[in-house]
């Protein structure tokens, strides 16, 4: 993580994994800019390399998928120390596997019960799941409860 100043933060990410016989190398960048104490924007971009035989797909993979997301965060809406967010992105864009059309939209509202417990209800809309438009749209609702020690 690199903090240029308190309003601008950049993070680099990298992972190396082997899943289902596939070697995965992926990296990305995350940039956040706080417009003021209440409002912030962020953007993410990632690129990876997937190589190996997929037993699930029954084929060799040699992919260079990309991912991206943009979003906004708003703090202190209705409840002090709360955070609301909205983002849109594509988690796996690889034209050699599907059509690269899956798009995710996520929204959430997080607030503290006390200094050790936060509660976050949210939703996610996934169009063209697994990059397959014929699979329709998935609507997910979630609740996250976090205990901090």
Q: What pLDDT digit, counting tens, does each position of 60-105 carry?
A: 989 999 999 999 999 999 888 899 999 999 998 887 777 778 999 9
Q: Which pLDDT score, from 0 to 100, does residue 111 have?
A: 93
Q: How confident is the model at residue 54 (pLDDT cuts 50, 70, 90)?
A: confident
- Identify the pLDDT of residue 33: 95
pLDDT averaged over every residue in the chain: 92
Q: Which residues contact 144 (CB under 8 A, 6 or more apart)?
A: 108, 110, 118, 119, 120, 121, 122
**How many Cβ atoms sit within 10 Å of the Cβ of residue 85?**
18
> How distant is the alpha carbon of residue 11 from its chain centre?
14
Each as own residue / partner, the long-range contacts of residues 132-137 (CB below 8 Å, 24 or more positions apart, any chain) are 132/98, 132/99, 132/101, 133/99, 133/101
Element (H, E) at 10: strand 8-19
Predicted TM-score (pTM) of the model is 0.82
Three-state DSSP at 66 gives: strand
What per-residue confidence (pLDDT) applies to 143? 97
136's CB contacts (< 8 A; 6+ apart) are 129
Rounded to whole angstroms, the Cα distance separating 100 from 117 reads 38
The three-class DSSP label of residue 130 is helix
């Amino acid at each position: 993580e690199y903090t240029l100043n308190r309003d601008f933060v950049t993070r680099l990410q990298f992972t190396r994994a082997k899943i289902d016989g596939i070697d995965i190398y992926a990296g990305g960048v995350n940039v956040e800019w706080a417009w003021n104490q209440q409002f912030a924007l962020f953007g993410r971009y990632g690129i990876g390399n997937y190589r190996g035989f997929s037993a699930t797909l029954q084929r060799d993979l040699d992919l260079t998928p990309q991912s991206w997301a943009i979003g906004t965060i708003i703090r202190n809406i209705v409840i002090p120390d709360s955070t609301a967010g909205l983002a849109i992105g594509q988690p796996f864009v690889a034209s050699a596997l599907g059509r690269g059309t899956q798009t995710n939209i996520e929204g959430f509202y997080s607030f503290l019960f006390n200094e050790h417990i936060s509660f976050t209800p949210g939703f996610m809309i996934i169009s063209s799941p697994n990059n397959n438009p014929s699979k329709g749209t998935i609507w997910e609702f979630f609740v996250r409860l976090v205990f901090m020690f």
